[in-house]
Structure 1
Amino acid sequence: MRTLVMKQRDLFEESVQETLVPGEIQTELVTQLALLMYGLIDAIEGEVHDEQDQH
């Protein structure tokens, strides 16, 4: 049973290592995601404001 657990852990660690993004690219991705989120929030707030004006 312990051997099986170790093998599963090894497989997990290998799959994580393959999906890691280099630091420089990760920083850029996080920045772009934050900008996208702020843009989305602004768009939603604008839609809410527009909906309230019509009533």
Structure 2
Amino acid sequence: MRNLMTRQKGLFEQAVREAVVPEEIQPELVTQLALLMFALINVIETEVHDEQDRH
């Protein structure tokens, strides 16, 4: 059991190291993520509004 926990921790740490984004790309990535979130919020609000109009 203890070995399994250690291996899982090691896999997580390896995945984090591989997922690090270079500093040069981070501002663009944050901007794109914010735009995606804004678009998603708009879609959800539209769906909620459409659902309320049908009743």
User: Does TM-score exceed 0.5, indicating one fold?
Assistant: yes
TM-score, reference length from structure 2: 0.62
How large is the Cα RMSD of the aligned pairs? 2.2
Q: Which has the larger radius of gyration?
A: 1
Percent sequence identity is 68
Where does structure 1 lack aligned partners over 5 or more consecutive residues? Answer: 1-11
- Give the aligned length: 43
CA spacing shift, 1:22–1:50, aligned 2, 3 Å: same
Give, in angstroms, the shift of residue 19 of structure 1: 3.7
Q: CA-to-partner distance for each residue in 1:15-34, whole Å, 9 max, x for gaps?
A: 63x54222220111111011
Which structure dedicates a bigger proportion of its chain to helix? 1
Give, in angstroms, the shift of residue 39 of structure 1: 0.2
**Runs of 4+ in structure 1 displaced over 6 angstroms?**
none
| Equivalent residue, structure 2, for 1:24 | 24
CA spacing shift, 1:19–1:44, aligned 2, 3 Å: closer
TM-score, reference length from structure 1: 0.62
